[in-house]
Structure 1
Amino acid sequence: MTAAGTTGLVAANASGATGQDALGNRWYAAAPYLMPLDNDPPDPAAIMDATGLKAFQLAFVLAPNGGGCSPTWGGTAPVSSDTAVQSTISTIRAKGGDVSVSIGGYGGTKLGQACADAASTAAAYQQVITKYGLHAIDFDLEEPEYENTAAIKNEIGAARILQQNNPGLYVSVTTAGTVDGTGWFGKQMLLEAKSQGFIPNNFSIMPFDGGFSGAASQTAALTNFNSILRSTFGWDEATAYAHEGFSGMNGRSDTGEIFSQSDFQTVLDYATSHHMDRFTFWALNRDRQCSPPDNGGRTSGTCSSVAQSDWDFAKYSVKFAGVTPPTGTPTPTPTPTPVSCEPAWNSSTAYTGGSEVSYAQHNWKAKWWTQNEVPGASTWGPWQDEGAC
């Protein structure tokens, strides 16, 4: 039997796993995204204390940058030898919480692209489930992978295998949102799922970076997506909502859309009143105020670019899980020690991965070779924001 045939009971007792009891599915459905190795990762224990949050969606597992069908964090850190993410998970579980792991995302090479077929793709993901004793996993299928028919067939096939071989595994599938619900490639992904007989706990859309304007446009997209689910799978409205999810972006999106706390409350009210399965957002790394609050009209991977208190947006996830966030005054965040600025970024200089520069009073580290790409121009660009300097 291949690794893809390993059961969830074996996974829970594998080396590196803790045997952590599963939370209720509503917590996995509410888990916001957290990059544990990039974008100035916040302390999950502090977030849990301040908000009551119990679940985190860790991102992202990818194929190795150099090629191959084995899981890594961000394309660079092999899951097999990981201790850093394991430490984060242990911190969360020591406080009674748990994690889901998200695979895919916007950048990098996905395992569905690198592996030969669904079975080998599932085997790679099973290594992640076994390593961390997971009870939940998220397939984030978006550009450019979801334009690759063979890759999507591998991903959906892998998700189906994992669901079968890990009883009780909570599986979400997240894809791009449009004002019409989802686009052509998203619809093709749904048809692939139907053809393989695969039904996850939810299909979630990301209604941002697509000409959205506040909560009204997002709830309209969710209504339209419900119609797509109904027509694709033959479900009635209530069944479609029970398999539908929302994945938002707090604050300023990559394309300059603004989603405030009041927008999140409106979408939360919509999600709960329609009995949707999932409500999450990208990302906890951004759930804190920039300096200045609007970040000079720029999007950041480490703050929201809107006025807020730390972890304002996480509290909406807590509410979706059915818990009332703490109302006490949180302990003030200590003033950080000033950090000196690296040499200024130069548009004509070629930078290799690991190079550090400063731009707009922030330090930045190159994720890969780059030239004439402005730091901070895109969350998914070549530059990792290392905070103010």
Structure 2
Amino acid sequence: MPIRPHALLGCALSLALASAATAAPLFSPYKDIAISMNWNNNVMSSNVSGVFQPLLSVLPPRVPAVTWAFATGECGAETWAGLDPDALAQANVPLFVKRKVGYIISTGGAAGKFTCSSAAGMRAFIDRYASPRLLGLDFDIEAGQSAAEINSLVDQLAAVQADYPGLRYSFTLATLGSSTGQVSSLPYGDLNITGYTVIQAIQRAGLANYTLNLMVMDYGGPSPWVCVVAKGHCDMGRTAIQAAQNLNAKFGIPYAQIELTPMIGRNDVVDEVFSLKDANTMIGWAKANGLAGVHFWSFDRDTPCALPYASATCSSVADVPALAYTKRFRNQVAAP
């Protein structure tokens, strides 16, 4: 008798419980599947080491998971940068299972919407990627989704959630990290209207086992209204911490339901640079306060270059070697 996808997904619960037992945040770098994709066999790949090779061949040992980005379109009929979702799943899921590396399926992103209008579509979406190594879903909501689209997405997820008790569900939201001390007086806190709408939808639907994953990046010109300022620049490590503190203060979201995702190296706001020192600061605080996860955008950027602007394929920081951020996150999260 074939194993039902729901039963396979239940196996993910043991992985989640093992992570919870250590009280360490989950670390999973984002991987833009379209960057260095092997279009001949649909296997996710990377040039991050300077040599084109499969992702799992270059991923450092003991990195527990990778977040695949991004599925867009309607749930159950989604696409990945034009790639058929079955082709992506069939080429990559068995490789992750064989290597015992977890994965999270991320949707949306800055350039695309992910929508869901039916519970059946949500089930088809989840089941497509089912395996004992599927840890959860991530909904990156930043492409101008309407309140109706957000409500429908959360409603369909809530409708099927009981069928997938082992999965985690994160909502990735834009944020500031203001340091004026006045965040509680602002209507949306450090979030925008989209983030506020997501929180309202989650609360209305009674969704369980969710986290809010803050994009701690691209704050704008240095000002205490958007970040923690030090020496005329946004202090990226301290601002990430401030964003989590502000979310907790404004909306009462427990730290155990907050995650942080910086953009490593140079951000789109070019004078904002997330350094290895910032990683130490952020991860140390995240561990001490029981955050659910720390991630970064993105794996293919974890290689040096001297560009004066943000690149999709390097960090725009010349003196940080390839895979240094990945290894620093891994080591800091795992450290006692």
Matched residue of 2:171: which SS?
Answer: strand
Q: Which whole-Å deviations, capped at 9, do the CAs of 1:55-100 have from their partners, x for residues lacking one?
A: 1111111117xxx9612112x11213x0x55433333332221211
Paired amino acid for 1:322: A
Alignment partner, residue 305 of structure 1: 316
Say if 1:202 and 1:194 are closer, same or farther in 2 by CA, change over 3 A.
same
Alignment partner, residue 216 of structure 2: 207
Query: 2:118 & 2:249 partners in 1: Cα distance?
Result: 29
Shift of 1:320: 5.5
Paired amino acid for 2:15: L
Say if 1:132 and 1:157 are closer, same or farther in 2 by CA, change over 3 A.
farther
Q: Which is further off, 165-174 or 273-282?
A: 165-174
Query: 2:331 & 2:67 partners in 1: Cα distance?
Result: 16
Shift of 1:142: 1.7
| Cα pair 2:259 2:291 within 8 Å, conserved | yes
Query: 1:28 & 1:163 partners in 2: Cα distance?
Result: 22
Paired amino acid for 1:56: V
Alignment partner, residue 195 of structure 2: 186
Matched residue of 2:320: which SS?
Answer: coil
Q: Which whole-Å deviations, capped at 9, do the CAs of 1:265-317 have from their partners, x for residues lacking one?
A: 11111111111111111110111112xxx21x021111111131111111243
1:155 aligns with 2:161: no
| Cα pair 1:47 1:53 within 8 Å, conserved | no
Say if 1:45 and 1:21 are closer, same or farther in 2 by CA, change over 3 A.
farther
Say if 1:45 and 1:57 are closer, same or farther in 2 by CA, change over 3 A.
same
Query: 2:195 & 2:127 partners in 1: Cα distance?
Result: 27
Alignment partner, residue 186 of structure 2: none
Query: 54, 57, 77: which is aligned to 2:64?
Result: 54
Say if 1:106 and 1:31 are closer, same or farther in 2 by CA, change over 3 A.
same
Say if 1:108 and 1:143 are closer, same or farther in 2 by CA, change over 3 A.
closer
Alignment partner, residue 326 of structure 2: 314
Alignment partner, residue 263 of structure 1: 278
Shift of 1:219: 1.4
Matched residue of 2:110: which SS?
Answer: coil
Shift of 1:126: 2.7
Alignment partner, residue 183 of structure 2: none
Shift of 1:120: 4.7
Alignment partner, residue 42 of structure 2: none
Matched residue of 1:103: which SS?
Answer: strand
Matched residue of 1:245: which SS?
Answer: strand
Q: Which whole-Å deviations, capped at 9, do the CAs of 1:332-379 have from their partners, x for residues lacking one?
A: xxxxxxxxxxxxxxxxxxxxxxxxxxxxxxxxxxxxxxxxxxxxxxxx
User: Normalization by structure 1: what TM-score?
Assistant: 0.66
Shift of 1:197: 0.5
Structure 2: runs of 5 or more not aligned: 38-44, 47-53, 179-189, 221-226, 228-233
1:288 aligns with 2:276: no
Query: 2:198 & 2:191 partners in 1: Cα distance?
Result: 10
The CA RMSD measured in Å over matched residues stands at 2.8
Query: 30, 40, 52: which is aligned to 2:27?
Result: 30
Query: 2:25 & 2:124 partners in 1: Cα distance?
Result: 22
Say if 1:203 and 1:320 are closer, same or farther in 2 by CA, change over 3 A.
farther
Alignment partner, residue 266 of structure 2: 252
Query: 2:90 & 2:268 partners in 1: Cα distance?
Result: 30
**Which structure is larger by alpha-carbon Rg, 1 or 2?**
1
Alignment partner, residue 185 of structure 2: none
Paired amino acid for 1:87: A
Say if 1:104 and 1:30 are closer, same or farther in 2 by CA, change over 3 A.
same
Shift of 1:7: 6.0
1:330-349 equivalences under 5 Å are none
- How many residue pairs match? The answer is 288
The higher-RCO structure (CA 8 Å, 6+ apart) is: 2
Matched residue of 2:217: which SS?
Answer: coil
Matched residue of 1:45: which SS?
Answer: helix
Say if 1:132 and 1:9 are closer, same or farther in 2 by CA, change over 3 A.
closer
Alignment partner, residue 229 of structure 1: 251
User: Normalization by structure 2: what TM-score?
Assistant: 0.76
Matched residue of 1:305: which SS?
Answer: coil
Query: 57, 71, 74: which is aligned to 2:78?
Result: 71
Paired amino acid for 1:174: T
Query: 1:177 & 1:245 partners in 2: Cα distance?
Result: 12
| Cα pair 1:137 1:171 within 8 Å, conserved | yes
Q: Which is further off, 244-253 or 313-322?
A: 313-322
